Amino acid sequence: MFYQYSTSLGYDYLALSITWQKGFCAVSACNFKATPIFSLHGLWPSNLLKASPRNCQPTPAVTFPKDIMEIKKKWKSGIVSQLQSITIPSKSQYNIWSYEWKTHGTCMVGKSFTNNTLDATNPEAYYSDTVYAFSNNVAGLSRKLFDKNVKPGFEYLANELLSALKDVIGSPVTIVCATANDKKQYLQESAMFHDK
């Protein structure tokens, strides 16, 4: 589950955002075959009553590895292979990872799921926590929804989907839907939050 962080760290809680591949590709052009599963979008420090931190400038300054080859050389192989398996399988996985760390990971400090502390200057630690959060909260989610009679390819009211997601995840969730060219609404994303 998620930790609640002190507001002195600049955020109140973490939001784990996940993408429904089929819905994403129904609305956006995809360079891969979408499957009916959730993929990682990101782990975001977030606030309840004020703007969430973005694009922080950690000290000392640090740069994200310049390409996927550098990531594979510098990071533990387990993190890299897990990230590759849970991120949308596009040709631009590196760009997604770089963007998410620069936008959100640079703002994460404090208690960590997998390390003693999170250091905003360490992208590997950020992704270690992200993989951990995804693995412990999203693994088997599609199957659990199926068991609740929420099945890919069928239409549901937003409140039905929200209720099913909350039941299987065990914490508050949000959903984002978008309209495709066929004028139908498709689930794009869901985010789960620490239950205060």
Q: How confident is the model at residue 43, as a pLDDT?
A: 92
Q: How confident is the model at residue 108, as a pLDDT?
A: 83
5 band by pLDDT with thresholds 50, 70 and 90: very low
Q: Give me the percent of the chain exceeding a pLDDT of 70.
A: 89
Q: How confident is the model at residue 110, as a pLDDT?
A: 73
Q: How confident is the model at residue 89, as a pLDDT?
A: 82
69 band by pLDDT with thresholds 50, 70 and 90: very high
Res. 20: pLDDT tops 60: yes
Q: How confident is the model at residue 31, as a pLDDT?
A: 85
Average pLDDT over residues 160-186: 93
CB-CB contact of 20 with 89 (8 Å): no
CB-CB contact of 144 with 37 (8 Å): no
The pLDDT tens digits of the residues spanning 76-115 come to: 888 999 999 999 887 789 999 999 999 999 888 776 777 6
Average pLDDT over residues 120-125: 84
CB-CB contact of 173 with 166 (8 Å): yes
Query: CATH homologous superfamily of domain 7-193?
Result: Ribonuclease T2-like (3.90.730.10)
One DSSP character per residue, 146-185 reads: HHTT--TTS---HHHHHHHHHHHH-S-EEEEEEE-TTS-E
Q: Give me the percent of the chain exceeding a pLDDT of 90.
A: 56
Q: Where are the domains of the chain?
A: 7-193
Res. 1: pLDDT tops 60: no
Q: How confident is the model at residue 21, as a pLDDT?
A: 93
Res. 36: pLDDT tops 50: yes
Average pLDDT over residues 20-28: 93
Alpha carbons 171 and 168: distance in angstroms, whole number = 8
Average pLDDT over residues 103-132: 81
